[in-house]
């Protein structure tokens, strides 16, 4: 998948290690000459309260870059925009046969922190960001494929969720 094909991103929580790659996806994905065609529509972000700050912050960071790139014909005007969706538990996306359901996980004082269940074509993948043991995660993962956490130090953050438990969820 090329960067320009990424137009929807689901953020689990607002820790820096889950956000720091977003500016690159946004800015590199819109470039027509680097991203295999360039994103031509807004980048959409789904996430917890505060996700609007993330979107506005990235847009602000690239204000002058975008002015230069637009006048140089390297990006489209629509690609400069970020659309944010503040989520709560439940179905947050349902388009073209893809359904995404958000559920709360236990990331200590980081509230809210979400996991996502993605259903498509009769198949299910369940993702979580950092979490300690979470009954919601176990419940959502039943009958699906648990893909674990996207965080680089997830083994420490998972706390009491052992590999044995992850295996039993499968």
Residues that bind Zn ion in the complex, under the rule CB under 5 A: 15, 130
Q: Is 64 a catalytic residue?
A: no
Q: How far is the CB of 14 from Zn ion (least distance, A)?
A: 8
Q: How far is the CB of 11 from Zn ion (least distance, A)?
A: 11
Nearer to Zn ion (CB atom), residue 62 or residue 116: 116
Nearer to Zn ion (CB atom), residue 15 or residue 85: 15
Nearer to Zn ion (CB atom), residue 109 or residue 123: 109
Q: How far is the CB of 18 from Zn ion (least distance, A)?
A: 6
d(CA 101, CA 12): 12
Ranges of H-type helices in the chain: 22-29, 51-61, 63-71, 135-141, 154-157, 163-169
Q: Cβ distance 128 to 134 under 8 Å?
A: yes
User: Which residue(s) pair with 165 in the sheet?
Assistant: none
Residues labelled catalytic: 17
């Amino acid at each position: 998948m090329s960067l320009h094909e990424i137009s929807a991103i689901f953020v689990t929580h607002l820790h820096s290690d889950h956000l720091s790659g977003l500016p690159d996806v946004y800015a590199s994905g819109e470039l027509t000459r680097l991203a295999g065609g360039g994103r031509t529509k807004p980048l959409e972000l789904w996430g917890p309260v505060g996700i609007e700050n993330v979107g506005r912050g990235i847009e602000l960071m690239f204000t002058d870059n975008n002015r230069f790139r637009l006048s140089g014909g390297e990006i489209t005007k629509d690609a400069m925009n970020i659309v944010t969706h503040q989520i709560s538990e439940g179905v947050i996306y349902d388009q073209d046969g893809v359904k995404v359901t958000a559920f709360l996980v236990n990331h200590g004082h980081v509230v809210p922190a979400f996991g996502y269940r993605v259903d498509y074509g009769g198949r299910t993948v369940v993702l979580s960001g950092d979490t300690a043991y979470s009954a919601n995660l176990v419940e959502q993962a039943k009958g699906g494929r648990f893909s674990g956490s996207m965080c680089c130090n997830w083994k420490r953050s998972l706390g009491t969720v052992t590999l044995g438990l992850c295996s039993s969820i499968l």
